[in-house]
Amino acid sequence: MSRKHDVNKEIENEVYCGTLPVLPKERKYGFMDALLVLSGYCIATWSYTQGSYLATLVGFKQLLIGAFLAAIFMLMVYQLPVIMSVRYGIDIWIWLRSVFGPKGNKIVTIIIILVNFPWYAVCCELFADSMENLLGLFGIQLFNGAHLVLSLSCVIVGTIIALRGVGTITWTTRILVPLLLLVGVAVVVVGFTSVPMDVIWNYQPQLAGDADKTVNYVLNIEANFAFVITLVGGMAEVPRLCKSEKSGYYAGVLGQGAAGSFFVVVGAVMAIAMQYVTGQMVDDPTLMMATLSAPILGLSSLLLVAFANIGTQAVGSYIYGVMLKSTFKKISYKTLVLVLGVYVALLCVWGKITEYFGSFLTIGACVYAPLAALLFVDFFLIRKQKIDLKSAYELPGHNAYQYSKGFNIVGIICLALGFGFTLLIYDPIQGIIHNKILFMLTPTLASFIFTGVLYLLLSKIPGIRRYIRRDTYASPDKRPFDRAKVPPRQNIFFLPLMWLLCKMAVSPYKLKVDKHNMEGIKPPFLVYGSHNSFMDFYVTPLALKPYRANYISELEGFENFGEWIYRQAGCLGTRKFINDQSLIRNIARVIKRGDIMVIYPEARYANVGTNSHLTPSIAKLAKMLKVPVVTLNMQGNYLQQPIWNLKERKGARLHADLKCVVTAEEIGKLSVDEILGRISKELTYDEYKYQLENKIVINDEWRAEGLHYPLYKCRKCGKDFAMTSSGSRITCKHCGDSYEMDEYGQLHSLSGETIHIPDWYEWQRGFVHEEIREGRYKLDIPVRIEALPNAVNFVDCGIGRLIQDNEGFSLEFDNYRTEKHETLKFPAKSMVSLHTEYDYRGKYGPCVTLSTYDDTFFIYPTEESRDVFNPTKIQFATEFLGGLYS
């Protein structure tokens, strides 16, 4: 077995083990272990470069604040998500698959390496500087280009070590960390003993005439923010090995914020001391020791620093090589390390990485700051500290994080905008401040805040929230919707926008509103409207203009469009067919404060464009509120978008009648039956009759598609669930009987018979009543259940069983609230009807819903029950058993 094969195998094993979740029993690190490992990673010769860079900006006291407090402040915030690494035993790159998608994460990995790897070019430059300076002290002059040769030799030797694999790297690390500590100790001793203490303590940089001290202080803070934030990439592997969240978190904070920062300060002390002695500021510890102590100490330190730089380069190549290998599994580790080596070599050839150290730091932070913000917000505020690990690892059948072909567009856009936002504040290459106010926050912190807020706000938009939270089942929000919350008045500033939107929605359908008996009728009053389609919500505000109103809406609408928008539109959230006393109280509040309360008393869209029976409770409510009752009968809304096929029919024409049916004077005098009679009379409608009488042509070729949902029983052979529809035809799959839907909505059989759709619909109802009366009706089927507890998300309850008989509904399922398999009972007499959907949101298929006070259960058929699950028949049975048709 060859050596090469061994390395590849080792690396593959490393990659495999390096990405697996670490089990609790496998955790190795307590706080001190993790602290030492992370400190070792943070201590590198680039700390001296950072220290001397800071010393060019600010005095020693401000430098101390920056190195320690700024580093700790940033670390305290952005290290918080490492508790996720500890909890799940994974590194942040696995988590980031949920933020960017698996393919998006690959791109981010490449970007991270591009902005991070210049650190290693800094090491190579330092190595070359050390060699040159020291040889210079001994009077040896090097040829032109020797600097490049020296820096490239550091790249080459480091790459060769990295190519030798895990064992060599382990030994390198074991030697490297003590060596760096040794160099650090030597620098501290020499630095503090060679110049008086007050020289360092009272140090102030010699600034150019136009330099702004405040700007320099901000740059100092920024450099420290950037310094700690850009090191996170290489440190991501450690917290997953920690035994507790606290140890992982504080080890990360102190590893960088204390140990790493200490060496930055050491670098600054060295630079200040050198400037005091020689008048020249350097970041090379070798040169300092040779100058400030003795050449022999410089020679000794040369060997230490040389090896330290080569070792750091080797360890860096290894860490990022493994990271790349876990992302690009098909490319060999050797190739990846060579590519990294070439990248560093090119930076060395460019030769200006030290000169542009501050720029490169900020550019790195431009990427890391939004990245850290996304991770923070995603972990704490969006996914609420839960992740679907199986999707993160792309196990078969777990696709929550596939988003758009493997890319989470929202995460990627936020990252790009966060990056751009930093550049809008500050140009790190030219050093130009574009926005001084935001610059005071530092570009890194401003970008962190901007990206975090942007991502959070976007996640509040329902469509985007559903896109990024495809894993809600992993951490659903289970808090019940607050039905008792006092509804706000319809937002007065929102109203013109709403009218405009409504106007735009109805304009293709030429809405005409006729008002009857409305003279002198002013709010407060109660409006009962017919309910045909979503178009009702556009027509109603226009009919009630110029007044604002409140509307009762099923919670599902809140989830679909967002609670904030629904509240601004004046909606009161409730669940259908429950005895909601909170709703009654809120209706009374709306009336009491002088507004219009709009109720759609049928509580469901018309299945075939005809009204449902109304219950006396609506008349009792009117009597209780003692305000005028207005009816709004809308025609054409159903024709425009029937519930069984949500495609819009452009030929539809809208008309609405707004009529005061009970005045304030009459409300106290009329009986409940009289009031109900008046309302029912005005809310009686037949959309197909309206279409025929008004010769409204709807000639879309697909006009009958979906009609088999409400018309499920064959008129000829009498078989249930036998109908199917296509184009403009509805056909029985069993006997072949077929009907053509004409342009006026009438059905015609092949034998020339004409059928009015509502007649067919009601004809079916009679059979269901008969089945129930004869005791033959029983539904007992497997179903898929999703609960809607609030306006935020659905909760997957898996597969259960729906039973409907003369007693009502029984729903057997794994109740997510109690975490037990339970049966919920919905007594027949408690429900006068049932909410049904034929193709929920145009993609989820047919369903019915059952509600408790805290949950609405959306019940879908399984593959097994698909052929016998028909919402219309279930609704017929519910209405009969509930007493609506008795």
Does residue 723 sit in helix, strand or coil? strand
Start-to-end C-alpha separation, the chain: 86
Q: Where are the alpha helices (DSSP H) in 520-616?
A: 536-544, 555-561, 563-568, 581-592
Nearer to another protein, 389 or 747 (CB): 389
| 221 touching another protein, by CB under 8 A | yes
Element at 741 (helix H, strand E): strand 738-741
| 73 touching another protein, by CB under 8 A | yes
- Give the whole-angstrom CA distance, residue 738 versus residue 729: 7
Q: How far is the CB of 438 from another protein (least distance, A)?
A: 16
| 23 touching another protein, by CB under 8 A | yes
- Give the whole-angstrom CA distance, residue 317 versus residue 314: 5
Nearer to another protein, 27 or 325 (CB): 27
Other CB atoms closer than 10 Å to residue 373's CB: what's the count?
Answer: 26
The only residue of 31, 33, 69, 466 in contact with another protein, by rule CB under 8 A: 69
| 245 touching another protein, by CB under 8 A | yes
Which residue reads 């430098």 in tokens?
Answer: 63
Contact by Cβ (8 Å): 636, 648: no
The only residue of 65, 215, 338, 456 in contact with another protein, by rule CB under 8 A: 65
User: Considering only CA atoms, which of 381, 578, 598, 589 is closest in space to residue 485?
Assistant: 589
- x/- site string to another protein, residues 176 to 215, per CB under 8 A? --------------------------------------x-
DSSP string across 142-153: PPTTHHHHHHHH
Q: How far is the CB of 55 from another protein (least distance, A)?
A: 15
- Give the whole-angstrom CA distance, residue 616 versus residue 532: 21
592-611 residues in contact with another protein (CB under 8 A) are none
User: Considering only CA atoms, which of 291, 284, 267 is closest in space to residue 55?
Assistant: 267
Q: How far is the CB of 187 from another protein (least distance, A)?
A: 25
Q: How far is the CB of 104 from another protein (least distance, A)?
A: 21
Nearer to another protein, 240 or 483 (CB): 240
Nearer to another protein, 388 or 786 (CB): 388
Q: How far is the CB of 478 from another protein (least distance, A)?
A: 15
Peptide linkage before 524 cis (omega within 30 of 0): yes
Q: How far is the CB of 387 from another protein (least distance, A)?
A: 10
- The answer for residues whose C-beta is within 8 angstroms of residue 286's C-beta and 6 or more apart is 130, 133, 134, 298, 301, 302, 305
Does residue 691 sit in helix, strand or coil? helix
791-820 residues in contact with another protein (CB under 8 A) are none
Helices 295-327 and 92-100, axial angle in degrees (round to 10): 50
The only residue of 18, 21, 295, 677 in contact with another protein, by rule CB under 8 A: 21
| 244 touching another protein, by CB under 8 A | yes
- The answer for residues whose C-beta is within 8 angstroms of residue 102's C-beta and 6 or more apart is 394, 401, 402, 406
Contact segment (CB under 8 A) with another protein among 75-83, 280-288, 360-368, 721-729 equals: 75-83
Which residue reads 């106290």 in tokens?
Answer: 668
Q: How far is the CB of 73 from another protein (least distance, A)?
A: 4
- Give the whole-angstrom CA distance, residue 815 versus residue 801: 12
| 70 touching another protein, by CB under 8 A | yes
246-275 residues in contact with another protein (CB under 8 A) are 246, 249
The only residue of 95, 127, 217, 644 in contact with another protein, by rule CB under 8 A: 217
Q: How far is the CB of 480 from another protein (least distance, A)?
A: 23
Proportion of the chain in helix, strand, coil states, percent, rounded to 5: 55, 15, 30
Q: How far is the CB of 553 from another protein (least distance, A)?
A: 36
The only residue of 4, 28, 61, 436 in contact with another protein, by rule CB under 8 A: 61
- Give the whole-angstrom CA distance, residue 200 versus residue 273: 7
| 243 touching another protein, by CB under 8 A | yes
| 452 touching another protein, by CB under 8 A | no
80-109 residues in contact with another protein (CB under 8 A) are 80, 83, 86-89
Six-digit token string for 448: 């962190």
| 449 touching another protein, by CB under 8 A | no
Binding residues for another protein, how many (CB under 8 A)? 36
- Give the whole-angstrom CA distance, residue 81 versus residue 92: 8
Render the burial of 784-814: b for 16+ CB within 10 Å, e for the rest: bbbbbbbbbbbbebeebbbbbbeebbbbbbe
Nearer to another protein, 9 or 246 (CB): 246
383-412 residues in contact with another protein (CB under 8 A) are 389-390, 393, 395-396
Nearer to another protein, 122 or 372 (CB): 372
Nearer to another protein, 77 or 667 (CB): 77
Q: How far is the CB of 446 from another protein (least distance, A)?
A: 14
**What is the chain's Cα-based Rg?**
36
Binding site for another protein (CB under 8 A): 16, 20-21, 23-24, 27, 59, 61-62, 65-66, 69-70, 72-73, 76-77, 80, 83, 86-89, 214, 217, 221, 243-246, 249, 389-390, 393, 395-396
